[in-house]
A = this chain, B = another copy of it.
């Protein structure tokens, strides 16, 4: 069975992490970028912010879409998204971050983004082949 889509989007809840790993924006940025590299994505830019009293938010823009994170160190919890297009495997990034944050429990779902047959169906013009073209 097969259907075609442009992107793979993984939504992750990392529970019961090491809270110390969720506090430092530089640490988190470094490892979010590395997660993108592990997934064989091409990093375009990254932008991370520290919120008072604690918590970090940030995004890594990749040629193949993005990775984002929001952390709640006080609860040992982080919400992470890994959205990739093309023939790369976002789960490699997922595995890496699970280890880095020392998450004892995680939950995740993968949602296909941009189903090509729907894009074609809703269009008023012929679209030809619908694929992700790496830059």
Give the B-binding residues of A (Cβ under 8 A).
6-7, 9, 11, 13, 15-16, 44-45, 47, 49, 51-52, 57-59, 61, 63, 65-66, 68, 70, 72, 74-77, 79, 81, 83, 85, 104-105, 107, 109, 111, 113-115, 118-119, 122-124, 127, 130, 135
Tell me what chain A mostly uses at the interface: helix, strand, loop, or mixed: strand
Q: Can you list 5 A-B pairs, Cβ within 8 angstroms, ordered by A?
A: A16-B124, A44-B57, A59-B59, A72-B114, A79-B114
- How many angstroms between the C-alpha atoms of A65 and B46 in the bound complex? 15
Report whether B68 and A68 are in contact in the complex, using a CB–CB cutoff of 8 Å.
yes
Q: How far is the CA of A134 from the CA of B70 in the complex (A)?
A: 13
Query: Is B15 a contact partner of A119 (Cβ separation < 8 A)?
Result: yes
CA distance A79 to B57 in the complex (A): 21
With contacts A47-B47, A59-B47, A70-B66 taken as known, whether A11 is within 8 angstroms of B113 at the C-beta atoms is: yes
